[in-house]
Amino acid sequence: MAGRDVPALRLSGISKSYGKVRALSNLSFEVAEGRFFVLFGPSSVGKTTALRTIAGLVATDAGQLEIHGRDMTTAPIAGRGVSMVFQSFALYPHLTVYENFAYPLREEKVGREEIDKRVKETAAMLKLSHRLERKPNTLSGGEQQRVALGRSLIRRPRILLLDEPLTNLDAKLRHDMRAELKRLHRQFGMTIIYATPDELEALSMGEEIAVMREGAVVQRGTPDELYERPIDTYVAGKIGSPHMNIVKATLAADLSGLDTPLGTFSPARRYASATAGEGALLGIRPHDLRPAARGEAGVVTRIPLLEPLGDVTVVSVQAGGETLRMVLPEQSATGLKPGDEMPVTFDLNKIHIFRAANGQAMT
């Protein structure tokens, strides 16, 4: 039996190509038992291929896959203890909800009484007891999603794979299902691997997030770690909404200052490595910009655009040929209008500095 320190899942150097298209490139990560783990990135970065590899639906070209400490790289699908919910739901249209739930148990030769018990338990948990005799095409999108989820949960998998499961739902249903999935995770304590291109889903649901790019993991960490310490401009641009403001800069000769179109600043963070006169990028989160107080030094800007979003307003400001976005509480933005001048400032302890040549963090 695997020890408690053995991860539920470990991928080591997994690669997969389809002809000349490289879907996964030396993909490596591990997931602790009971974790809600998110694979995050835009379309075509390899999220779905990674999930299908874990499920056993895709044969790898190289690398090793371990599930609960056992090498499952070439193991059959049935023996993995893994279940997958697809983006398209993949329900059987000719079967009722009851029969959709029962089908995987019948395939596993589970007894009739046990099937009936587990179907009714699963339906009650997902609030579908009154829909058991209905067919999928008579259900709402949210109900169909819950049927797809229930069909995977009824097998009691140790690892549940979810491939962009909320994409086909409207905004309210997505919100409701995010809460439902988090509740189910707490209730069952199972390991969940969740693939999504949606930043809100990733940050609100993931206990740990792996940001993917070109078939590999660029950075992995908690939502706070990725927000506060992005490893490069790619991660900085994917985590945080609105996205980080990026301004071109140059390191001063003595490395004490950072020359930018907004002025010269002395970063509070130390450089890991830097060269005098080197090109850099200054990153400022929109939430870290604020109007300068009366008498406080600040960058004089002009407002071209205001975007009221209810309790907050996104204020675009321009200075030195750069446009920056700033998030203000609704009451702080009251009275502002396009064309106004406004001095702004920011905390030098919270800025990010990246190398212009490759986008890697310098601090």
What's the pLDDT tens digit per position in 232-273? Answer: 999 999 999 999 999 999 988 777 788 999 998 888 777 777
Q: Write out the DSSP string of 176-204.
A: HHHHHHHHHHHHH--EEEEEES-HHHHHH
Residues 294-347 pLDDT 10s: 888 899 999 999 999 989 999 999 999 999 999 999 999 888 999 999 999 998
pLDDT at 1: 40
Homologous superfamily in CATH for domain 9-237: P-loop containing nucleotide triphosphate hydrolases (3.40.50.300)
Which comes out higher in pLDDT, residue 172 or 227?
227
**Continuous H helices in the chain:** 47-55, 97-107, 112-125, 141-153, 171-188, 199-205, 223-228, 233-238, 330-333
Average per-residue pLDDT for the chain: 91
pLDDT at 172: 82
CATH 2.40.50.140 residue ranges for the chain: 242-355
C-beta separation of 97 from 133 below 8 A: yes
C-beta separation of 130 from 124 below 8 A: no
Q: Is 2 a residue whose pLDDT tops 50? A: no
pLDDT mean over 73-96: 89
C-beta separation of 48 from 215 below 8 A: no
Q: Is 3 a residue whose pLDDT tops 70? A: no
Integer Cα distance of 266 and 278 in angstroms: 15
C-beta separation of 153 from 100 below 8 A: no
pLDDT mean over 125-135: 91
pTM of the entire structure? 0.88
With 0-12 / 13-18 / 19 or more C-beta atoms within 10 angstroms meaning exposed / middle / buried, residue 245 is buried
User: Which residues, other chains included, contact 20 with Cβ-Cβ below 8 Å and sequence gap of 6+?
Assistant: none
**Residue with token string 């809600």:** 36
C-beta separation of 72 from 159 below 8 A: no
CATH number belonging to domain 242-355:
2.40.50.140
C-beta separation of 63 from 13 below 8 A: yes
Residues 11-70 pLDDT 10s: 999 999 999 999 999 999 999 999 999 999 999 999 999 999 999 999 999 999 999 999
Task: Order the strands of the 208-213 sheet from edge to edge.
Answer: 82-85, 159-163, 191-196, 36-40, 208-213, 216-221
Q: Is 96 a residue whose pLDDT tops 80? A: yes
Q: Is 287 a residue whose pLDDT tops 50? A: yes
Q: What pLDDT band is residue 277 in, cutting at 50, 70 and 90?
A: confident
CATH 3.40.50.300 residue ranges for the chain: 9-237
Q: Is 110 a residue whose pLDDT tops 60? A: yes
Integer Cα distance of 41 and 58 in angstroms: 20
Q: Write out the DSSP string of 13-60.
A: EEEEEETTEEEEEEEEEEE-TT-EEEEE-STTSSHHHHHHHHHTSS--
pLDDT mean over 210-223: 97
pLDDT at 4: 56
Instruction: With H, G, I as helix, E, B as strand and everything else as coil, classify residue 347.
Output: coil
